[in-house]
């Protein structure tokens, strides 16, 4: 009988093992067990999320792919062009080995994009770390940022946006989510499959080494504490090789002889080859002896499960590989024919002449599906009432100023310039709006279109209520796109959650999908691709549920994109939304609550239909060229938004309102669906005509410097200085 | 009239340069693969930026041994104009077409930002600018810290061969406007004969107002004007 330790190493349970024996009608051999461990891992088999993923809105009139069917999702933007995009996490590897973990995370997501035949045109990333005042966290953060910079800059893909936030919830369990966007002619999109028996399976790129074995099953499927010893499971990246692979593969992609292309990512050849065969409804014969290896004596098990980076698989018509090999030779890339697609449904593995395994593919690829509702049954999320200190509702100038100063110096609010300066964001010469705004904008050469792209997610709000928090995350992602004047048309989701085998983790996932479905329906934005990283459990507890949303919007090239900040003195300031002031309950899950109350409690709320209206409104104002700047109110509330609007061009603001007695909620409540914009006074008439009177108000005027409300005067210089000082410790 | 952009494995600014010279400026431009041994009919050679050969060993060092570089050296020795951008500048130094060396940025980390450059217009690469004009061009490098012997620096200064220096928006030149620690804020230099330019900033990335500015086009315009007049 199999030992529990062996199963644990493969992240299989005893009942799963029994299921394997039952399906095979025999005991699996060592290699076969490895194949199951990899393919039945969450990373490849989605055994805890598949049921939920099926419920998600993944189609619209623009989608070109079935969700999860290809390496990434593709969306039609007209002119025979498709945008391909996906987000992927590399959390556990980055926790163990920050530089290489993050670097190979970038490498992996880029391969997913060019496997579709698409030229990668943008990278974004969402990062989460524990508090910077703890040494280990600064070490992780530095390693991750250097890794993204070191790997990404080599590739010639602009890194144009994202976010970097800190919360004790990510202590020992950082999140590194990387998103890549590519472009391809619709009629040239590649599929990750073969066409007919006899098609050859060829491996390209790096030799296969002993690195990364059990990456998918081990690292990504176990609690963090168990993975510290798995350092050898982290892969090492070679961005130079990746760059050659991009160019060579995109050149190969134009040849008729090429049938399909697939990234060799998590679970290595096993997952890549077997999933290719499954998609093609074909069998597959592989000779592991044909795989170029880095060192002698590697076993078939190691070869099949290695996660060595910078490898691609292609399916090629039999005897028609000559031109492909010529291109690979031009780029000095190694390749080898390692198998062929065959009739039937089996994967047959040989080591030279020696037979090792014959296993039905559909058995390997049909991981058990767990019903999360059974796991979460009976679980009620603990409700914690919001605590408001007495001083929060008694107006006191000095206290308010001290709170403003502290919040604007928070690592979550300060300028992230030191970070994105390390990423090339100009290469490919398409960047119209650089990092630092609500979203980034790139133009698409050869068309009259531009894309707005963002990548973020508020996990504290999801910690308060995962369903509403997820609705807010999608709403905010779309809002970030809309303030640029673009219409959001597609999303990709990075699910970062705790242990789904525990009631809390299961509940949070279920609620998140409910929120997604509500929001996707309203904003008409399908989730076209995504990634699930579960088992994110730090030493003390699971992370806040962190659904990261990558959003893409489209706009005409002639649209003048508004700036984030005010641009000239004398401009009027407007607020789109029901109310200028935040509320006390809006402090739930806020940055204010994190800093001053060290708490996560309360209730959150969003009216999605109203949110949709104000997003349509802001787009209309941009399209009619009536406004000069637009910025949404999010983390840090109204006060932080005003400061950031002033800071960009070193201006000030006079707000013709009195701050209410409950200043904390009013200034720092993170109530949703509010956008600050500025405009020439002469445009007011036109704006009033376009907007419903109850949805907006003029709140003040842009001034030379400092921020004035009717009952307070706030000097801006020192605030700007705190903001521009950047992180509390150097990243 | 033809521009040749040399493509090494790992470089990535060849397509941006192609876009700037061909699509924006309308000049005949073609790629030259590093394994080719010929520079037929080329009037201007550009060595682009990126990470040739992964920048393993030393930046630009491996590229300086590639077959095409012998041709580039011969072309330059005959007076043909050559521009090396970023990694291309590093390759020019490694192949001894330009003096000095580019080492790690003083702060040791990669830096990507718009830089202000003060122009010396006494060269075939900068004649389209006003003398001492301040132009905005992005930089994107980890190893752009130009260093050379004192005698070389004196020579560069006295022969007026420093074409671009990092400066403030108003033209001040000091340490606070130096992104990488280069001696005398050097951003770009020419050889003794004046036909080889190496610069760390990326002029091809400043090729259109839509993407933040088109100050970089003047470099291509200057040298191409010279080629056309010859």
**CA atoms in the 13 A half-sphere facing the CB of A492:** 31
Correct CATH for A1-40+190-367 of 3.60.15.10, 3.40.1000.10, 3.10.580.10, 3.90.650.10: 3.90.650.10
The reply to whether residue A243 touches residue B51, judged by beta carbons under 8 angstroms, is yes
Tell me which residues of chain A have a C-beta less than 8 Å from any C-beta of chain B. Answer: 146, 149-150, 153-156, 238-241, 243-244, 330-332, 420-432, 434, 443, 445, 557
Residue A160 has pLDDT above 90, yes or no: yes
- Give the pLDDT band (50/70/90) at residue A43: confident
Give the phi and the psi of residue A625 in degrees, each rounded to 5. 55, 45
Indicate which of A158, A425, A427, A726 best probes the interface with B, i.e. most B CBs within 10 Å of its own CB.
A427
d(CA B179, CA B192): 26
Q: Which stretches of chain B drop beneath a pLDDT of 50?
A: none
Whichever domain contains B40, its CATH number is 3.40.50.880
Reported as a single tens digit per residue, the pLDDT across A59-83 is 999 999 987 788 899 999 999 999 9
Question: Count of H helices and E strands in chain A?
Answer: 25, 25
Strand locations in A588-695, DSSP E? 629-632, 652-655, 675-679
Reported as a single tens digit per residue, the pLDDT across A134-151 is 999 999 999 999 999 999
- Give the pLDDT band (50/70/90) at residue A231: very low
What mean pLDDT do residues A12-24 have?
Answer: 93
- Give the pLDDT band (50/70/90) at residue A216: low
Asked whether A572 and A679 are in contact (CB, 8 A), the reply is yes
The reply to whether residue A429 touches residue B204, judged by beta carbons under 8 angstroms, is yes
What mean pLDDT do residues A703-715 have?
Answer: 97
CB nearest B53 (choices: A240, A434, A445): A240
* CATH annotation of A374-414+562-726: 3.90.650.10
d(CA A628, CA A678): 6
The answer to whether A90 is a known catalytic residue is yes
- Give the pLDDT band (50/70/90) at residue A230: very low
Residue A492 has a pLDDT of: 97
What mean pLDDT do residues A510-522 have?
Answer: 97
C-alpha dihedral over A144, A149, A154, A160, to 10 degrees? 120
For A53-84+98-178+425-560, which CATH superfamily applies? Answer: PurM-like, N-terminal domain (3.30.1330.10)
Q: Which of A5-14, A18-27, B214-223 has the lowest mean pLDDT?
A: A5-14
Q: How many domains does chain B have?
A: 1
Catalytic residue among A43, A48, A92, A425: A43
d(CA A394, CA A381): 32
d(CA A680, CA A628): 8
> The tokens of A679 are what?
């405009």
Reported as a single tens digit per residue, the pLDDT across B126-169 is 999 999 999 999 999 999 999 999 999 999 999 999 999 999 99
Catalytic residue set of B: 86, 202, 204
Residue A542 has a pLDDT of: 85
Residue A539 has a pLDDT of: 63
Query: In whole angstroms, how large is the CA radius of gyration of chain A?
Result: 26
The reply to whether residue A443 touches residue B211, judged by beta carbons under 8 angstroms, is yes
Angle between helices A14-24 and A30-39 (to 10 degrees): 120
Give me the residue spans of the domains in chain A: 1-40+190-367, 53-84+98-178+425-560, 374-414+562-726
d(CA A610, CA A620): 15
Reported as a single tens digit per residue, the pLDDT across A87-100 is 999 999 999 999 99
Q: Which of A254-258, A280-284, A694-698, B54-58 has the lowest mean pLDDT?
A: B54-58
Asked whether A361 and A284 are in contact (CB, 8 A), the reply is yes
> The tokens of A585 are what?
């309950």
Residue A454 has pLDDT above 50, yes or no: yes
Query: In whole angstroms, how large is the CA radius of gyration of chain B?
Result: 16
- Give the pLDDT band (50/70/90) at residue A223: very low
The reply to whether residue B12 touches residue A239, judged by beta carbons under 8 angstroms, is no
d(CA B7, CA B56): 17
CA-based nearest residue to A631, from A577, A590, A582: A577
Residue B197 has a pLDDT of: 98
The reply to whether residue A153 touches residue B110, judged by beta carbons under 8 angstroms, is yes
Reported as a single tens digit per residue, the pLDDT across A380-408 is 988 999 999 999 999 999 999 999 999 99
The reply to whether residue B207 touches residue A146, judged by beta carbons under 8 angstroms, is no
> The tokens of A567 are what?
């641009």
Domain that holds residue B135: 2-229
Asked whether A611 and A475 are in contact (CB, 8 A), the reply is yes
State how beta strands B29-33 and B3-7 pair. Answer: parallel
CB nearest A422 (choices: B33, B109, B207): B109
Residue A1 has a pLDDT of: 67
d(CA A267, CA A304): 8
The reply to whether residue B211 touches residue A243, judged by beta carbons under 8 angstroms, is no
What mean pLDDT do residues A164-189 have?
Answer: 96
Residue A265 has a pLDDT of: 83
Residue B54 has a pLDDT of: 82
- Give the pLDDT band (50/70/90) at residue A226: very low
**Neighbour-count burial of A187, counting CB atoms closer than 10 A to its CB (0-12 exposed, 13-18 middle, 19+ buried):** exposed
Contacts with A, B 57-86, CB within 8 Å? none
Min Cα separation A589/chain B (Å): 34
Strand partners, A573: A678, A700
Residue A312 has a pLDDT of: 97
What mean pLDDT do residues A313-318 have?
Answer: 96
Average pLDDT along chain A = 94
d(CA B68, CA A677): 55
> Where does residue B182 fall: left (phi above 0), alpha (psi -120 to 50 degrees), or beta otherwise?
beta
CB nearest A240 (choices: B54, B210, B212): B54
d(CA A620, CA A627): 10
d(CA A460, CA A466): 9
DSSP 8-state secondary structure symbol assigned to residue A63: B
Residue A4 has a pLDDT of: 83
CB pairs under 8 A between A and B: 88
3-state helix, strand, coil in chain A (%, to 5): 40, 25, 40
Angle (CA) A166-A171-A175 rounded to 5° is: 65
The answer to whether A43 is a known catalytic residue is yes
Asked whether A138 and A66 are in contact (CB, 8 A), the reply is no
Q: Is there a common fold for A1-40+190-367 and A374-414+562-726?
A: yes
């Amino acid at each position: 009988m199999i030992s529990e330790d062996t199963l644990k190493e493969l992240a299989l349970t005893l009942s799963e093992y029994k299921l394997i024996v039952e399906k095979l009608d025999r005991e699996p051999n060592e290699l076969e067990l490895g194949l199951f461990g990899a393919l039945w891992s969450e990373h490849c088999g989605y055994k805890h999320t598949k049921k939920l993923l099926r419920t998600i809105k993944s189609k619209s009139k623009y989608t070109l792919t079935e969700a999860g069917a290809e390496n990434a999702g593709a969306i039609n933007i007209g002119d025979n062009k498709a945008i391909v995009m996906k987000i992927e996490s590399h959390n556990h590897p980055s926790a163990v080995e920050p530089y290489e973990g993050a670097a190979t995370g970038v490498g992996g997501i880029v391969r997913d994009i060019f496997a579709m035949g698409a030229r990668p045109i943008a990278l974004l990333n969402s990062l989460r770390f524990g508090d910077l005042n703890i040494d280990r966290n600064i070490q992780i953060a530095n390693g991750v940022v250097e890794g993204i910079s070191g790997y990404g800059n080599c590739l010639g893909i602009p890194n144009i946006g994202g976010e970097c936030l800190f919360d004790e919830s990510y202590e020992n369990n950082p999140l590194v989510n990387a998103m890549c966007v590519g472009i391809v002619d619709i009629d040239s999109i590649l599929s990750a499959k073969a066409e007919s028996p006899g098609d050859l399976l060829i491996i390209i790129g790096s030799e296969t080494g002993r690195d990364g074995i059990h990456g998918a099953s081990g690292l990504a499927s176990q609690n963090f504490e168990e993975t510290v010893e798995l350092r050898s499971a982290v892969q090492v990246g070679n961005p130079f090789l990746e760059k050659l692979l991009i160019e060579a593969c995109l050149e190969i992609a134009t040849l008729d002889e090429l049938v399909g292309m697939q990234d060799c990512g998590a679970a290595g050849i096993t997952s890549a080859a077997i999933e290719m065969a499954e998609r093609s409804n074909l069998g597959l014969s592989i000779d592991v002896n044909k795989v170029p290896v880095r060192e002698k004596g590697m076993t078939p098990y190691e070869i099949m499960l290695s996660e060595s980076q910078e490898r691609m698989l292609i399916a090629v018509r039999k005897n028609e590989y000559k031109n492909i090999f010529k291109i690979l030779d031009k780029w000095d890339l190694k390749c080898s024919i390692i198998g062929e697609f065959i009739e039937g449904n089996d994967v047959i593995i040989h080591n030279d002449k020696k037979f090792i395994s014959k296993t039905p593919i559909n058995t390997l690829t049909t991981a058990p599906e767990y019903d999360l509702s059974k796991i979460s049954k009976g679980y009620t999320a603990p409700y914690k009432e919001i605590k408001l200190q007495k001083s929060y509702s008694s107006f006191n100038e000095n206290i308010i100023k001290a709170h403003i100063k502290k919040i604007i110096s928070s690592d979550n609010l300060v300028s992230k310039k030191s970070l994105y300066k390390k990423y090339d964001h100009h290469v490919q010469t398409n960047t119209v709006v650089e990092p630092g705004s609500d979203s980034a904008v790139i133009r698409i050469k050869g068309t009259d279109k531009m894309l707005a792209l963002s990548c973020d997610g508020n996990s504290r709000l999801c910690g308060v209520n995962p369903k509403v928090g997820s609705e807010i995350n999608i709403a905010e992602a779309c809002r970030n796109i809309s303030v640029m004047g673009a219409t959001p048309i597609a999303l990709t989701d990075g699910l970062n959650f705790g242990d789904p085998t525990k009631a809390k983790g299961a509940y949070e996932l279920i609620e998140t999908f409910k929120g997604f479905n509500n929001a996707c329906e309203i904003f008409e934005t399908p989730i076209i691709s995504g990634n699930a990283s579960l088992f994110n459990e730090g030493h003390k507890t699971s992370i806040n549920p962190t659904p990261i949303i990558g959003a893409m919007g489209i706009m005409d090239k002639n649209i003048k994109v508004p700036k984030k900040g005010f641009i000239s003195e004398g401009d009027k300031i407007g607020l789109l939304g029901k109310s200028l002031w935040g509320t006390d309950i809006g402090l739930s899950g806020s940055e204010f609550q994190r800093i001053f109350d060290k708490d996560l409690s309360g209730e959150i709320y969003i009216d999605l239909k109203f949110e949709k209206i104000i997003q349509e409104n802001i787009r209309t104002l941009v399209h009619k060229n009536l406004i000069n700047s637009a910025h949404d109110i999010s983390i840090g509330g109204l006060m932080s938004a005003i400061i950031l609007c002033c800071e960009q061009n070193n201006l000030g603001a006079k707000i013709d309102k009195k701050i209410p007695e409950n200043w904390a909620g009013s200034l720092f409540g993170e109530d949703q669906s509010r956008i600050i914009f500025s405009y020439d006074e002469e445009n007011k008439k036109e704006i009033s005509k376009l907007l419903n009177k109850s949805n907006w108000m003029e709140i003040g005027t842009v001034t030379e410097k400092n921020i004035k409300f009717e009952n307070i005067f706030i000097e801006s210089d020192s605030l700007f200085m705190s903001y521009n000082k950047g992180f509390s410790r150097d990243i | 009239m033809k521009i040749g952009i040399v493509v090494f494995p790992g470089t990535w600014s060849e397509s941006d340069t192609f876009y700037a010279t061909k699509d924006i400026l309308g000049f005949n431009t073609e790629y030259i693969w590093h394994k080719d041994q010929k520079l037929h009919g080329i009037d201007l050679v550009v060595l682009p930026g990126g990470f040739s050969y992964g920048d393993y060993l030393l930046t630009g060092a491996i590229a300086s041994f590639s077959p095409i570089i012998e041709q580039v050296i011969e072309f330059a020795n005959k007076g043909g104009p050559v521009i090396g951008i970023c990694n291309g500048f590093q390759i020019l130094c490694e192949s001894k077409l330009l003096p000095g060396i580019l080492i790690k940025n003083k702060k040791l980390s990669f830096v990507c930002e718009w830089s202000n450059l003060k122009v010396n217009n006494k060269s075939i690469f900068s004649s389209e600018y006003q003398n001492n004009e301040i132009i905005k061009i992005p930089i994107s490098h980890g190893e752009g810290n130009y260093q050379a012997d004192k005698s070389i620096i004196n020579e560069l200064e006295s022969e007026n061969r420093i074409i671009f220096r990092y400066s403030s928006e108003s033209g001040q030149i000091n340490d606070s406007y130096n992104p990488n620690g280069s001696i005398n804020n050097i951003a770009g230099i020419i050889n003794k004969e004046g036909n080889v330019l190496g610069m760390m900033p990326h002029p091809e990335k400043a090729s259109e107002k839509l993407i933040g500015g088109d100050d970089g086009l003047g470099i291509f315009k200057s040298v191409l004007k010279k080629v056309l007049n010859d």
